[in-house]
Chain A
Amino acid sequence: MNSRLIFLVEDNLSDVELTKRALKRRHISNTMLVAEDGKEALDYLFATGAHAGRDLTDLPALVLLDLKLPRLDGLEVLRRIRADPQTKRLPVVILTSSNEERDLAESYDLGANSFIRKSIDFAQFAQAMEYLGVYWLVLNEPPPKVSPC
């Protein structure tokens, strides 16, 4: 596991840049990988499709997952991540602008580790990113590797 890789699944480029910016300004200098839709995200995680041949054991330290994605929905991605023994321990933080209770409940039901609402106020957003980085990348103990059987 690359303890330095943050996997951002987000379709809005503006949001991607802002997130990058926020993280940078808070000196979280991890590498950030971006997938623009659910399918691409899964392709990467399971080394299929465009990312075939990638080392499966090389998983990101944290997945920031938006819910509203074109094609495959964010919740579906989460379900698949949790369904696969290789990736089921992967820390996933839902990062979305939706404030529907339904999404909140279902995210936790499907096994998300955390749920963060993107606020409009960029200052707040940047603050949240900082906390995120510190918590998940520094404080949190990452899960142990899953030995391939």
Chain B
Amino acid sequence: MLSTPLRVLLVEDSESDAALIVRQLGMAGYAVSQERVETAGQMRAALQGPEWDIVIADYNLPAFDAPAALVILQQTGLDLPFIIVSGHIGEETAVALMRAGAHDYLMKDHLARLAPVVERELGEARMRRERRRAGEQLKSNAEELARSNAELEQFAYVVSHDLQEPLRLVAGYMRLLAERYSDQLDKDAQEFIAYAADAAARMKKMIADLLAYSRTGRNGREMVAVACEAALDQACADLRAAITESAAEISHGSLPTVPGDAAQFTHLFQNLIGNAIKFRSQAPPRIRVSAELHGQEWVFSVRDNGIGLDPQFADRIFMVFQRLHAREQYPGTGIGLAIARKIVEHRGGRIWVESEPGKGATFHFTVPVSPPGVKV
């Protein structure tokens, strides 16, 4: 059997007793490294030094006693098992000590119990340590998460905020130039101005999108019961122009009522349906929205008959500003799906797409039946 190393701090005035204890532990399979202290000062010094696994104390010493030793240990804040081994100790005293924080007590002539007690206490100390560590880790993780999320928002906010001002200026200048000097400038020059103005406008749009993106999610609104059919209708109303222009047909199965934010759901539907309309094929878009209950969550599907996409890009499209097509082909900054994902993930669900090029696309997203649990 392998020897488990054990560092024991012995508070004991009798060398022979200490040796007995060490021997007992040795017989139980521990490789004992120990230090014996007799006074409070020695104990304090020992505790400052190397790491200990366990403290075993005699009850009565000439210049010291177990209760005082216990106090010293507790003052250091170390969580070590504290075991009292004594010749004769009244039951009341022993129980009082345990109330004060000692972990166990043994009779000196009962040392056979020592090894199992030690093992048990070590196990418990380990568990306490782990639990503490896990708790701290949890706390720090939670803090970091909060900070990271806050940073994200702040970054987006700051970027957009501090960029909006100069951008406005630039756009203004460009407009001025166009107005004042267009007749003096030739086609090329006008093209230049147009390019620049175009770029400014694009940037403005991007910034607006970024702001929207950063605001999505934690707007602190309460969860209410959202009738998804109503949200869908609202989204369609918002997209009326695009729908009529493309002669799109939007149908839906019966959609449930889920807890959430109505505006966000509307936005989500608007995004997905808007995309379906935008990335349409030759045929007029046929879009179907449906929902199914799978266990503890609703799975929504938005299917279209558009141009579809290559499945290897199925993950990328949800990233910020990611586009699969050149700007001239299809407008947009590429933030729509990123916002959609943020909405869905904030609500505790997932979003993904199934598609083949030329065969349309089906976007799925899940909404848990119950509101999310403890938030960060």
- Report A-B touching, CB under 8 Å: yes
A→B interface (CB under 8 Å): 11-14, 17, 36-37, 70-71
Tier of interface size on chain B: 10 to 19
A12, A36, A71: the one contacting B324 at CB < 8 Å is: A71
B195, B313, B327, B328: the one contacting A17 at CB < 8 Å is: B195
Residues of chain A within 8 A (CB-CB) of B199 are: 14
- Known contacts A71-B310, A71-B313; A11/B326 CB under 8 A: yes
Sample of 17 more A-B contacts, CB < 8 Å, known A12-B327, A71-B324: A11-B326, A11-B327, A13-B327, A13-B328, A14-B195, A14-B198, A14-B199, A17-B195, A36-B326, A37-B326, A70-B323, A70-B324, A70-B325, A70-B326, A71-B310, A71-B313, A71-B325
CB of A50, distance to nearest CB on chain B (Å): 15
**Count of CB-CB pairs between chains A and B under 8 Å:** 19
What 1/0 flags go to B301-340 for Cβ under 8 Å of A? 0000000001001000000000111111000000000000
CB of B288, distance to nearest CB on chain A (Å): 27
**What are 19 A-B contacts defined by CB distance under 8 Å?**
A11-B326, A11-B327, A12-B327, A13-B327, A13-B328, A14-B195, A14-B198, A14-B199, A17-B195, A36-B326, A37-B326, A70-B323, A70-B324, A70-B325, A70-B326, A71-B310, A71-B313, A71-B324, A71-B325
Quick one: closest B residue to A71, CB to CB?
A: B324
Residues of chain A within 8 A (CB-CB) of B310 are: 71
**For chain B, what secondary structure do more than half of its interface residues adopt (helix, strand, loop), or is it mixed?**
loop
CB of B357, distance to nearest CB on chain A (Å): 11
Residues of chain A within 8 A (CB-CB) of B323 are: 70
CB of A148, distance to nearest CB on chain B (Å): 30
A9 to B323, CA, bound (A): 16
Residues of chain A within 8 A (CB-CB) of B327 are: 11-13
A13 to B327, CA, bound (A): 9
Chain B 165-199 interface residues, beta-carbon cutoff 8 Å to A: 195, 198-199
A63 to B295, CA, bound (A): 53
A17 to B328, CA, bound (A): 15
The 6 residue pairs across chains A and B that have the minimum distance between CB atoms = A70-B323, A70-B324, A36-B326, A14-B195, A70-B325, A11-B326
Residues of chain A within 8 A (CB-CB) of B328 are: 13
A12 to B321, CA, bound (A): 14
Residues of chain B within 8 A (CB-CB) of A70 are: 323-326
Most A CB atoms within 10 A — which of B310, B324, B326, B328?
A: B326
Quick one: closest A residue to B199, CB to CB?
A: A14
A132 to B349, CA, bound (A): 49
Quick one: closest B residue to A18, CB to CB?
A: B195
Residues of chain B within 8 A (CB-CB) of A37 are: 326
What 1/0 flags go to B46-59 for Cβ under 8 Å of A? 00000000000000
Quick one: closest B residue to A21, CB to CB?
A: B192
CB of B256, distance to nearest CB on chain A (Å): 36
Residues of chain A within 8 A (CB-CB) of B326 are: 11, 36-37, 70
Residues of chain B within 8 A (CB-CB) of A14 are: 195, 198-199
CB of B338, distance to nearest CB on chain A (Å): 15
A17 to B199, CA, bound (A): 13
CB of A43, distance to nearest CB on chain B (Å): 15
A71 to B313, CA, bound (A): 7
Residues of chain A within 8 A (CB-CB) of B198 are: 14
CB of B322, distance to nearest CB on chain A (Å): 8
Residues of chain B within 8 A (CB-CB) of A12 are: 327
CB of B265, distance to nearest CB on chain A (Å): 29
Residues of chain B within 8 A (CB-CB) of A36 are: 326
Quick one: closest A residue to B196, CB to CB?
A: A14
